[in-house]
Amino acid sequence: MKALLLTAEIMVKRSVGSIWLLWLCGFLPAAVAAVSPVDTLPGKLVSLAVCLPGVFLLTGWHGSRARTGLMAILFRTEGAGTVRFSELLLPTLSGTILGAMAGMAASFPPTWQFWLVLPLSAFAVSALIDSAERRYRYPGRFLLGLLWLHGASESGGGSLLAPFLYPGKVLMPGEAAPHPDSFVLASLALAGVSAGIYSLSCRR
Amino acid sequence: MEGPPEVLLKFLGVAAAVEGAVSTDLAVLGGTIAVLLGEENSVAGELAACAAGIRSPREGKVLVGRRMLEASTKEGRRASGFVAHTVEAPPGMTPRGCVNLAVTAVVKNRNSATEKTREILEWLDLQTVANVPLEELNSPEIQRTSMAVCMATSPELLVVDSPIHESLHSRLKTFARAGNAVLIRTSSLGEIPEGVERIALCDSSGIVRVVSRSELRGRAMGGAEISVSFCPSLPRQQLETIPGIKNLLHRNGLYKFTHGETAFAVTQLMNLARANSRAVIELHISSMPPSALIRLFEGDRGRTFHEGLFTGEDGP
């Protein structure tokens, strides 16, 4: 438990102490708001609320002195697994909470699909960011950013390819978007795939 | 009655990741301190890393602890510890924080964890700096903190990177006396602490020879590596006249050599300088480098290692 809480505390401290991460997380919503049509804006902001904690907490985390130090201290104990669990749990939880608040603000009451898609998407997003950071760092960030932009610019079936946008799409489906139920199925599948990618990235 | 000491570390057919590597079999008994002595390019560092579970051997097995677990496995890592000169920790972390974090990952009960943390800090004389950030500690305190973090898992084997600060010598002896083993990796004879029983001389291909401390002292006979420079410079032929001079190197006016009798060599140098109207402008005396020590035992390579300490696949 101590390792879990300490990891969370250190992750938050590190991110808050990073000026460029704070700028990035302020810039992203502003940029989305500036370029999005008014009718799709709430959905995109909800999706962004789910992704932002992951981006904020996990960007640069794997190469940081804080993580290296924690893992070095806990190298010979069970605690190393707790650190890995914590770095996945914290962005998932905070993404879920932030996404729920944004979702309720955007459309009240949110649909039942939203409540299912939200935690699954938050988990998938955190696992994907974590895996990309662990294995590919800069190319990983770039690819995930491209995927987000691709999804944000797509309407219709193509949006199923962008897991980062599921919560927003469920809330604000738009004209040619798939039925919200398909997002529930897709997010279930995606959570499984992300978990697989995550465990592979841990093992390698 | 106490039983015979148990083997707590075994290298079985371990070969270094270099061409022409020699397969190494080595065992370290509980209650003893052993040393891997070799230069930076020797296998000593690699063998120490394998024993500490930081690296897996390219070939062969490294077994640690009373249960003879593979060193690089999760369980094996718990049986060993690595004492380094640095403590990798998140910024601002204190010795108490580091030790408590490691202890709480092992001991689930909060009170027991606090008590164990306190005991470890007290044993390593870290109470006064327990709440000081690691960035502000001096090197002996950092090394003691590194050992304190290791003690959290109650290891049976400690792998220690030298130079070892004096304040740790007595602790390592106490640790060994409790039936545990200590393996020190060093590149200088002068850094070997008192109480060491066996010294494994390593070169880049493997362990060349295992000797006792007294045997090594006997062979080295107060020998040293000497660096000297004269003003104006003295021709190399002049230094070659010194009886017993070995491994003479000349670079940028500085002569470097090894000699079995330090006092005699220094006297000869002074006589040479006086006879040739030269001034000695630089004179350094350091303990013999491992490569020179190995040369003292040349011809012994491949001899059977000490019984009881070094074993083959069949055990001691």
Token pair recorded at residue B300: 């012994």
Average pLDDT over residues B60-72: 88
Q: What are the residue boundaries of the structural domains of chain A, listed by start?
A: 2-203
- CA atoms within 13 A of residue B14's CA, in its CB half-sphere: 28
Give the model's confidence band at A158: pLDDT under 50 very low, under 70 low, under 90 confident, else very high: low
User: Identical fold at B7-218 and B224-287?
Assistant: no
- Average model confidence (pLDDT) across chain B: 83
As a 3-state breakdown, chain A gives helix, strand, coil percent values, each rounded to 5, of 80, 0, 20
Q: What are the residue boundaries of the structural domains of chain B, listed by start?
A: 7-218, 224-287
* CB of B27 less than 8 A from some CB of A: no
Token pair recorded at residue B22: 């020699």
Q: Is the overall model pTM greater than 0.90, yes or no?
A: no
The string of DSSP codes covering A16-61 is: HT-HHHHHHHHHHHHHHHHHS-TTTHHHHHHHHHHHHHHHHHHTTT
Residues of A in contact with B98 (CB under 8 A): 73
* The CATH number of the domain covering residues in B224-287: 3.30.70.2470
Average pLDDT over residues B271-282: 90
Has residue B304 got a pLDDT over 70? no
Beta pairing class for B207-212 and B224-231: unpaired
Contacts of A36 (CB under 8 A, 6+ apart): A44, A152
Cβ A82–B100 below 8 Å, yes or no?
no
Cβ B91–A73 below 8 Å, yes or no?
no
Q: Are A116 and A51 in contact (CB under 8 A)?
A: no
CB neighbour class for A32 (10 Å; exposed up to 12, middle 13-18, buried from 19): middle
- N-terminal to C-terminal alpha carbon distance within chain B: 21
A177-198 residue pLDDT tens:
677 788 888 889 989 999 999 9
ipTM of the shown complex:
0.75
Chain B: closest CA distance from residue A66 (Å): 4
Percent of chain B scoring above 90 in pLDDT: 25
Percent of chain A scoring above 70 in pLDDT: 91
Please state the φ and ψ torsions of residue A60, each to the nearest 5 degrees: 80, -5
pLDDT at site B306: 42
Cβ B106–A75 below 8 Å, yes or no?
no
Give the model's confidence band at A176: pLDDT under 50 very low, under 70 low, under 90 confident, else very high: low
Average pLDDT over residues B111-136: 92
Fold of the domain spanning B7-218 = Rossmann fold (3.40.50)
A59-118 residue pLDDT tens:
889 889 999 999 999 888 888 888 889 999 999 999 999 999 988 888 778 888 889 989
> Of the given ranges (A78-82, A92-96, B17-21, B67-71), which has the lowest mean pLDDT?
B17-21
Average pLDDT over residues B279-306: 71
DSSP structural state of residue A118: H
Q: Which residue in the block uniquely carries the two structure tokens 């104990």?
A: A77
pLDDT at site A90: 94
Which residue of chain B has the CA closest to A64?
B90
